[in-house]
């Protein structure tokens, strides 16, 4: 059974390079196919999925690596009810809103959890 790697991102892509780096890391680890990689975005990090990322820090990482995550056939998890979800417009990859209880369950079932 493959280990599960959960990458949790809470940083704002408008003011921090951490979301871009988290997406790059997720795509890189997932490409090995030796682990199941799950990406969970909370609060302002949800904006990482926005169609227009021209003003985000390290914006090229979003357009380069989000399509890789999309090809995996599973959604990116986002915080349910976060106001940033309504600001997305057309998301670059499918996403699924999960409650805090669902997120806790996903984290508990993960082999590794990384926070950005």
Distance CA 94, CA 87 (A): 15
Handedness of CA 83, 16, 10, 90 (dihedral sign): positive
Q: Where are the domains of the chain?
A: 4-115
pLDDT tens sequence across 57-112: 999 999 899 999 888 888 999 999 999 999 888 888 999 999 999 999 999 999 99
Distance CA 93, CA 82 (A): 17
Question: pTM for the whole thing?
Answer: 0.93
Distance CA 51, CA 34 (A): 29
The architecture in CATH of the region 4-115 reads: 3-Layer(aba) Sandwich (3.40)
């Amino acid at each position: 059974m493959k280990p599960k790697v959960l990458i949790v991102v809470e940083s704002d892509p408008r003011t921090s390079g951490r979301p871009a780096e988290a997406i790059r890391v997720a795509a890189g680890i997932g490409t090995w196919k030796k682990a199941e990689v799950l990406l969970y975005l909370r609060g302002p990090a949800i904006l990482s999925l926005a169609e227009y990322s021209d003003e985000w820090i390290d914006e090229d990482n979003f357009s380069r690596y989000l399509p890789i995550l999309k090809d995996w056939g599973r959604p990116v998890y986002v915080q349910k009810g976060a106001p940033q979800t309504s600001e997305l417009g057309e998301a670059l990859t499918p996403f699924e809103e999960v409650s805090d209880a669902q997120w806790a369950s996903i984290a508990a079932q993960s082999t590794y959890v990384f926070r950005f």
